[in-house]
Amino acid sequence: MKFKINPKIFTLFNNSSVAVIVARNINNAHYNPDIALLTSQIELKLRNEVNLEELSQHPNILPWRDTYRKFGSKPSDYKSSVEALARVVLKGTEIKKISPLVDLYNLISIKHLVPVGAEDIDKIVRDLELTFADGTEEYTSLGSQENDPPKPGEVIYKDDIGVVCRRWNWREGERTKITPETKNAIIVIESVASIPINNAASELVDLVKQYCGAEITISYLNKDSSEINI
């Protein structure tokens, strides 16, 4: 299995990159109160440092809004995953606890204000690719059973069956979502406009090792290296 990025992504979205973390033999089944405490601390820190009314102009958020516009998605209607998650926190709501792995990558997302997502490797068919939709791909949103195909030209993650995540990082799909039974996962941390992601990736690797007992490899994809074997 390969993970690859269409080279046109780097042409259209200058200085974009993706940290790719492959975690195998993880324990994702049991709620951990230590992760919840860490998340609460980061939520409080975000509320103290960032104003909700100014979030859209934050240097880690504004480039994603510009990126969404470039592939035809209005950021006022479709927000990047990091902006959507930060807005939940800044409105005073705690992030929903899902599973150790998901809780950890959400924690890193709001701490570093970068988009982070993950998929169950064992549910991906053949290769995983970050590319542009032609509009015919099948996609079922989280919690849904209805096909909701992407728009032509939309940035998507896909495998040989269909879309894994729409609008780059806007909404993940039902088919490959992380569950408590997930044993092997691919985690991506995404950057545009040279937003730093290395520290976020390193910190997430340490946390997943500590709380999920995973065997991990990490790679960085960019215009000079756009494909890896998983």
Which pTM value belongs to this model? 0.97
Q: Give the model's pLDDT for residue 31.
A: 83
Residue bearing tokens 């998605």: 73
Q: Give the model's pLDDT for residue 51.
A: 97
Pair 83, 192: CB distance under 8 Å: no
Q: pLDDT tens digits, residue range 19-32?
A: 999 999 999 998 88
Q: pLDDT tens digits, residue range 132-153?
A: 999 999 999 988 889 999 999 9
Report the alpha-carbon distance of residue 230 to residue 185 in Å, rounded.
Answer: 10
Q: How many CB atoms lie within 10 A of CB 125?
A: 14
Q: Give the model's pLDDT for residue 30.
A: 85
Closest CA to 128 of 141, 114, 113, 118: 118
Report the alpha-carbon distance of residue 146 to residue 149 in Å, rounded.
Answer: 10
Report the alpha-carbon distance of residue 54 to residue 1 in Å, rounded.
Answer: 41
Q: Give the model's pLDDT for residue 144.
A: 86
Pair 140, 113: CB distance under 8 Å: no
Pair 226, 18: CB distance under 8 Å: no
Which regions in the chain score pLDDT beneath 50?
none
Using alpha carbons, list the distances in angstroms from residue 95 to 105, 152, 190: 12, 32, 20
The top-level CATH class assigned to 2-225 is alpha beta
Cα 65 off chain centre by:
15
Which positions ≥6 away from 104 have C-beta within 8 Å? Answer: 35, 204, 207, 208, 211, 212
Instruction: Write 74-78 long-range contacts (CB < 8 A, 24+).
Output: 78/167, 78/170
Q: Give the model's pLDDT for residue 214.
A: 87
